[in-house]
Structure 1
């Protein structure tokens, strides 16, 4: 076996594979295919689990029950006459969850982005009694992967005269 000449440096005799350039690094075809499949699978999974308006309505109904219970029952914003008449305010509101979900669906706009949806719901502001106006709520929610993330909420306090 011949030894390299003294004028040849060790790094010059190394195979070409050891010489790498930080500028021209390329992905192997298998890596590129795996990454494309992973990205495609992720997009498909997000598209399949993109929540519908009906799914959002059920979620919004549950949220509205909590908000209405806090606003009307816990903070005692009902007029005294109604407080005496309604014995179990939280249960009365909880029994209206289906109606609140339907109400939320009526007042919701949905922007379908394919892999996610943006829902904007504005409810309330109606007169419940001549002296009681319901608070107005506006909620912007992102629906992605079967979950809901509230992005922004706004409310006014309803008017009691």
Structure 2
């Protein structure tokens, strides 16, 4: 086998090993998803069309309340996420929401497909539908 071919094969093996080593874990994804869910829920629930007026009067700081639930949201995302692990990278599919939180108030639905590679998370597709009050 020529030296160039062996060098290319060796470089490819080193790159594959580096990608496998830096493939984010499921826990890393849950932390990432928790941060993303806080941002999303804050936009959906704390905005003008989010919570019913009575709840807006009762909840003083909606964004802070949601931010305080980041770990809960991260754990929740873990229950609704499927991981396809390809060793050099992973694909995560999270489907969450649609459940009734209070009478007339549903959790917004979201489906997110994310590529995890080299220690990074790259959203491939994101679909959401409004929750809020009906």
Quickly name the TM-score band, shorter chain normalised. over 0.9
Cα offset, 1:159, TM superposition: 5.6
In structure 1, the partner of 2:131 is 158
Unaligned runs of 5+ in 2: none
- Bigger Rg over Cα: 1
In structure 1, the partner of 2:56 is 83
1:51 and 2:24 are equivalent in the alignment = yes
Question: Within 5 Å, which residues of 2 pair with 1:96-107?
Answer: 96-107=69-80
In structure 1, the partner of 2:94 is 121
Deviations 1:5-42 (A, max 9, x none): xxxxxxxxxxxxxxxxxxxxxx952x333222211110
In structure 2, the partner of 1:146 is 119
What secondary structure, in the 3-state scheme, does the structure 2 residue paired with 1:51 have? Answer: coil
1:108 and 2:81 are equivalent in the alignment = yes
Cα offset, 1:49, TM superposition: 0.9
Question: Within 5 Å, which residues of 2 pair with 1:5-44?
Answer: 28-29=2-3, 31-44=4-17
Higher strand share: 2
Cα offset, 1:60, TM superposition: 0.2
Count of residues paired in the alignment: 134
Whose RCO is larger (CA < 8 A, sep 6+)?
2
Cα offset, 1:74, TM superposition: 2.8
> Is the contact made by 2:105 and 2:132 (CA closer than 8 Å) also made in structure 1?
yes
CA–CA distance in structure 1, aligned partners of residues 73 and 133 of structure 2: 22
In structure 2, the partner of 1:132 is 105
